[in-house]
Amino acid sequence: MPQLTRLPAPCLRTYVRLMWASAPAGAAAGQPGAREHVLPTGGMHLVFRLSGPPLKLFGGPGDVRGQTCGHAIVGGARAASYMRDVSVATRSVGAQLQPGAARALLGAPEDVLAGQHTPLDALWGAQQAHAALERIHAAGSLEAQLAVFEALLARRAIDSQSAGLRGLHPAIAAALGPLARENPPIAALVARSGYSHRRFIALFRSGIGLGPKEYGRVMRFDRALALAGDPGQSWADIALAAGYSDQAHLSREFSALAGVSPQAWRQSGAVSPRHVPAATGQIPSRR
């Protein structure tokens, strides 16, 4: 599947971490009944599906009906994987959002959107969301569609700045680096912030969508996932390097966050480390 991935324009980098666009290769038909686990990043994303059916999510292996979410969707911050339908290859553009960007770009704080997928029309209104989808779709090539998408986000960022909306709270921004690199005690982050424990947790959840303990758990998993890309690395070594107490601890946490065991993840043949095919046996047939 052809895919473009790039940084946003400088004016958007406060709000957007990465932009991408993808399209099926040739006459890719997909695979009936196919699903995949999408592993958590701790962040948010905004996606416009430009072909194929609307996004469909499943509550688990036994869920036959699923939940349809639309063609323009906001994926809130999560502390665990979710399962989606990938039976039809689709064309799409998307953006990984920076922490604290949701209020400026989407009109709602991260904690309201966390742990779920929200149709964009619930945030922008049906008319604006549909108009944006149409404009992007009409641009033609992947490069042009990504450029139109970027321009739409840049316009919203400018409007938000004009309205005086602030980005991520400085105390929360200062806590993200330590949580990404190591496992600092939450009490130490609270003390460094100068706020009460309750106030710090509330600020963190509002700006990130997850509490600091949940976010730190996902960041530790993120470190393990990066190390696990080297098949020569043992799981015991990965566990210690990523900040787990031992391999058993890593295995429990990996399975809880990814929806698959570490070994099943390595054996899945996934093209992307965060998009893991669900085992065929997990998908019940519909009769």
CATH number of the domain within which 124 lies: 2.60.120
- 61 has a pLDDT exceeding 60: yes
pLDDT of res. 92: 96
pTM above 0.85, yes or no: yes
The amino acid that residue 17 corresponds to is R
- To the nearest whole number, what is the mean pLDDT of the chain? 92
What's the rounded mean pLDDT across residues 139-157? 95
Q: Are residues 250 and 192 in the same domain?
A: yes
Q: Are residues 10 and 115 in the same domain?
A: yes
Q: Are residues 184 and 216 in the same domain?
A: yes
* Structure confidence by residue, pLDDT tens digits, 20-31: 999 987 655 568
Q: How many domains does the chain have?
A: 2
- 238 has a pLDDT exceeding 50: yes
For residue 13 the two structure tokens come to: 């980098």
- 104 has a pLDDT exceeding 70: yes
Q: Are residues 86 and 206 in the same domain?
A: no
Q: Are residues 190 and 145 in the same domain?
A: no
Q: Are residues 126 and 212 in the same domain?
A: no
Q: Are residues 176 and 143 in the same domain?
A: no
* Structure confidence by residue, pLDDT tens digits, 248-284: 999 999 999 999 999 999 988 788 899 999 875 444 4
Cβ-contact 84, 58 below 8 angstroms: yes
pLDDT above 70 covers a percentage of the chain that reads 95
In a domain, 213, yes or no: yes
In a domain, 220, yes or no: yes
What's the rounded mean pLDDT across residues 42-71? 95
Among 138, 162, 186, where does a domain finish? Answer: 162
- 88 has a pLDDT exceeding 90: yes
In a domain, 273, yes or no: no
Q: Are residues 140 and 247 in the same domain?
A: no
Q: Are residues 10 and 129 in the same domain?
A: yes
List the helix and strand counts (H, then E) for the chain. 12, 11
For residue 207 the two structure tokens come to: 């700006």
Q: 57 pLDDT band (50/70/90 cuts)? A: very high
| 90 half-sphere exposure, CB direction, 13 A CA radius | 21
Q: Are residues 141 and 189 in the same domain?
A: no
The enclosing domain of 234 has a CATH number of: 1.10.10.60
Among 162, 193, 209, where does a domain finish? Answer: 162
Q: Are residues 259 and 230 in the same domain?
A: yes
pLDDT of res. 285: 37
- 95 has a pLDDT exceeding 90: yes
Range of the domain at 210: 170-268
Q: Are residues 156 and 174 in the same domain?
A: no
What's the rounded mean pLDDT across residues 17-21? 96
pLDDT of res. 287: 34
